């Protein structure tokens, strides 16, 4: 994994955002392509959102692409282009919650931050809660803190995550016994599919004409009222805007 071979802060930041909701093999394939187009916070902050969204294709959950650029702008404007190392400061960046802030601090700066992600959770449930269901993360966090190698947290967390990935391939997934476990809903027919269709169309073609909006998505079984609701949410989230003619375009 490139972000392990060279855990530079920018590489760690990009990889951790990508890994939030995308499987490792896909991230490994797309990560170097993304970095080739946006090699640092400055390039990412100054890029057009359409270019970022195009580079994000295949990673899913596209709002993370928006968060990446917003975070890059904050790093450039508030932190002199240097990614903060403090967990609380990292949490002020868009798209960065407690777990992501902890992982960035640990992997980019070898800070002994306490955090849980899916593979780490799997290890602790397997060993410390073998007969329990509905295990809460607040029961796991003290164990993570007690077991942490504070001299080299980066290596320790990597080892835990590799072990957790191995447990996932063993047939039994201990995370099913976590209160945080949520089974993924079907992608086909979901708002997520429709959102992806809209953004992919705008990247490829630039706009959706006003007269085409009512029928957009009909081939995939999406009624006009649902299409309009998704367009409104994407507009509210800052992804797109309507022109004077009523056409839909990506927000610059």
User: Could you please report the per-residue DSSP string of 28-79?
Assistant: HHHHHHHHHH--SHHHHHHS-HHHHHHHHTTS--THHHHHHHHHHHHHHHHS
From-to residues of CATH 1.10.10.10 in the chain: 191-250
User: 191-250: what CATH class?
Assistant: mainly alpha
pLDDT in the model for residue 240: 87
pLDDT at site 66: 93
Tokens of 247: 């056409």
Contact of 33 with 55, CB cutoff 8 Å: yes
Where b means 16+ CB within 10 Å and e means fewer, 69-100 reads bbbbbbbbeeeeeebbeebeebeebbbbebbb
The pLDDT value recorded for residue 215 is 81
C-alpha span between 230 and 26 (Å, rounded):
26
* Phi and psi torsions of 222, nearest 5°: -95, 120
pTM for this predicted structure: 0.87
Return residue ranges of the chain for CATH 1.10.340.30. 2-109
pLDDT along the chain (252 residues), means of 10: 92 97 94 97 95 92 93 98 98 97 98 96 95 93 97 97 92 86 74 87 87 82 89 89 89 76
Catalytic amino acids?
16
Q: How far is CA 146 from CA 17, 88, 140, 171, 214, in A?
A: 26, 21, 10, 28, 57
Please give the pLDDT value at position 191. Answer: 87
Chain Cα centroid distance, residue 62:
9
The pLDDT value recorded for residue 8 is 97
Q: Give the C-alpha separation, 203 to 197, whole Å.
A: 10
CATH number of 2-109: 1.10.340.30
Q: What is the C-alpha radius of gyration for the chain, rounded to an integer number of angstroms?
A: 20
* pLDDT for the residue 216: 81
Residue among 106, 44, 39 nearest 69 (CA): 44
Q: Enumerate long-range contacts of 83-90, CB under 8 Å, 24 or more apart.
A: 83/9, 83/10, 83/13, 83/41, 83/108, 85/9, 85/109, 85/111, 87/111, 87/113
Q: Cα 139 from chain centroid?
A: 25
Question: 135: which strand partners?
Answer: 178
């Amino acid at each position: 994994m490139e972000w392990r071979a060279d855990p530079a802060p920018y590489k760690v930041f990009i990889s951790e955002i990508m890994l939030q909701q995308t499987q490792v093999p896909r991230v490994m394939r797309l990560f170097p392509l993304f970095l080739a187009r946006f090699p640092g916070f400055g390039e990412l902050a100054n890029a057009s959102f359409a270019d970022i969204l195009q580079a994000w294709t295949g990673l899913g959950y596209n709002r993370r692409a928006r968060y990446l650029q917003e975070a890059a702008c904050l790093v450039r404007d508030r932190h002199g282009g240097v990614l903060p190392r403090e967990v609380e400061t990292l949490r002020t960046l868009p798209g960065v919650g407690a777990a992501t802030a902890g992982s960035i601090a640990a992997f980019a700066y070898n800070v002994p931050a306490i955090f849980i992600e899916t593979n780490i959770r799997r290890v602790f449930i397997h060993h410390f809660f073998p007969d329990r269901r509905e295990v809460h993360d607040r029961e796991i966090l003290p164990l993570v803190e007690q077991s942490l190698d504070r001299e080299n947290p980066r290596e320790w967390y990597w080892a835990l995550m590799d072990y957790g990935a191995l447990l996932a391939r063993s047939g039994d997934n201990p995370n099913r016994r976590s209160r945080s476990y949520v089974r993924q809903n079907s992608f086909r027919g979901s708002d997520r599919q429709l959102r992806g269709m809209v953004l992919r169309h705008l990247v490829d073609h630039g706009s959706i004409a006003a007269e085409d909006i009512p029928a957009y998505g009909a081939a995939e079984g999406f009624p006009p009222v649902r299409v309009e609701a998704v367009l409104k949410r994407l507009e509210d989230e800052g992804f797109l805007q309507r022109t004077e003619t009523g056409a839909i375009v990506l927000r610059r």
